[in-house]
Structure 1
């Protein structure tokens, strides 16, 4: 059975975020079902976080595992910056 169009959209947006995170030195593993990213810092694998994305009336947003919004999907660079701040201010790239 083919994936729903909404899942393709999530996978696309999460792929953009994964590229931004990897460019900053983070590990980002795309999970297919349900679509989400598992983000880890390779220097300290003790901390990891899951990020997904959701459609809301104001558009699509990246979202933390605890439900808070990270950033609009149109700005994966800003989302990656915010995620890095949660990982203790790590800067990459």
Structure 2
């Protein structure tokens, strides 16, 4: 199976987000096809989420598994902060 330039771009942006999330103490696995991140909180084993990256007219964006946008792929730090906040809220309200 050939990897398209779009998949390379997606993987690049997901890799940047993965670094930011790991620096914030989350465990991250990059799935290769289709490219997506599997994110989990080591302190809350049952808490996990999948995030992908999609091109829109305004640029590339990270997207939750349920379809809402996390944030711009040009700002992985801000997107990572949002992921941490959402996972923390979910951990507090199982």
Q: Report the TM-score when normalising by structure 2.
A: 0.92
Q: What residue number does 2:17 align with? A: 17
Moved over 3 A (4+): none
Provide the secondary structure at the position in 2 that maps to 1:85: helix
1:39-83 Cα distance to aligned partner (Å, 9 max, x none): 000111111000000000011000000000000001000000000
Aligned residues: 90
Root-mean-square deviation (Å): 1.3
1:74 has 2:68 as partner: no
Where does structure 2 lack aligned partners over 5 or more consecutive residues? Answer: none
Q: What residue number does 1:65 align with? A: 65
Deviation of 1:88 (Å):
1.2
Where does structure 1 lack aligned partners over 5 or more consecutive residues? Answer: none
Higher percent of residues as helix: 2
1:29 has 2:35 as partner: no
